[in-house]
Amino acid sequence: MARSGVVSWRRRSEKLDGFDMAPMNSEEAHVLAVDDSLVDRKVIERLLRISSCKVTAVDSGRRALQFLGLDDDKSSSVGFDGLKVDLIITDYCMPGMTGYELLKKIKESSALKEIPVVIMSSENVLARIDRCLEEGAEDFIVKPVKLSDVKRLKDYMTREAGLEESGMNKRKLREPCDLPSSPPSILPSSPSSSSSSPSKSPSPPLSSSFSAPSSPTSLDSPIRRLKMTNTD
């Protein structure tokens, strides 16, 4: 099985025949995973790697902020080792800084606020979910995290990581294919750019009018469902 659906522009034509048109960036997405539990870090790392993502896993909110270049009150737009981060996935309950506090710090930072943040929690508490979504979390996953959850996360990354290139790619190449959930119809109009920054697409207005999800444990992210119906 193809481990990675990533195709670079150069190789595209060679791979046209029988190629699985996975909506992919020309680079692998880089996810920062934050969880104080080693077991959970191993699992989330594997889930992400098997889904063709680069992963950096840290054990605390503080380390996450260090990695992102946000140390205490200092703010910088460069990641610790220069790698851009396409998605942050964090546990809610952590000693020291909770996932919620981490989320707030990220959304308060002009350099980092565009990075989608997903919260994980073993507790299915509606008030907690609401708080996180209101603070700007992209989604909320009830643990244990499964492959289907991670597959859903990929949509946030490909949609928001400025994939104009592959968007156009798909419009040309998808005519014979029937893919009802093709991202191009969902992508908001954004300035065309390479995928170098996750902040290109504006945060979809739909999420601000979105209220509490009715069922956080449903298979589809409620946010995704809302976005899809509005663009159809």
Partner 1 sequence: MLGLGVDRLRADMNRLLAMLFHQGVLDEQFLQLQQLQDESSPNFVSEVVNIYFHESEKLLRNLRELLMDREFSDYKKMGTHLNQFMGSSSSIGAKRIRNVCVAFRAASEHNNRAGCLRALEVLEHEYCYLKNKLHELFQIEQQRVLAAGVRYPMQNN
| d(C-alpha 160, C-alpha 128), whole Å | 25
Q: DSSP assignment, residue 95? A: S
Q: Is 122 in the site for partner 1 (CB under 8 A)?
A: yes
Q: Cβ(82)–Cβ(48) under 8 Å?
A: no
Q: Does 179 bind partner 1 (CB under 8 A)?
A: no
Taking alpha carbons only, the member of 139, 56, 60, 72 closest to residue 105 is 72
State whether residue 42 is helix, strand or coil. Answer: helix
Quote the least distance from Cβ 188 to partner 1, whole Å.
33
Helix, strand, coil fractions of the chain, as percent rounded to 5: 35, 10, 55
Segment 9 to 68, residues that bind partner 1, using CB under 8 A: 36-40, 42-43, 46-47, 50
Least Cβ distance, residue 140 to partner 1 (angstroms): 16
- Taking a C-beta distance cutoff of 8 angstroms, is the pair 102, 61 a contact? yes
User: Residue 1 CB, nearest distance to partner 1 (Å)?
Assistant: 9
CB 34 within 8 A of CB 99: yes
CB of 91 to partner 1, least distance (A): 8
The runs of H, that is alpha helices, within 26-146 are 38-50, 61-68, 99-108, 126-134
Q: Which of 93, 111, 206, 228 binds partner 1 (CB under 8 A)?
A: 93
Q: Which 130-159 positions form the footprint of partner 1 (CB under 8 A)?
A: 143-147
Least separation in angstroms between residue 180's CB and partner 1 is 26
78 counts as binding partner 1 under rule CB under 8 A: no
By CB under 8 A, residue 2 contacts partner 1: no
Binding site for partner 1 (CB under 8 A): 3, 36-40, 42-43, 46-47, 50, 93, 95, 122, 143-147
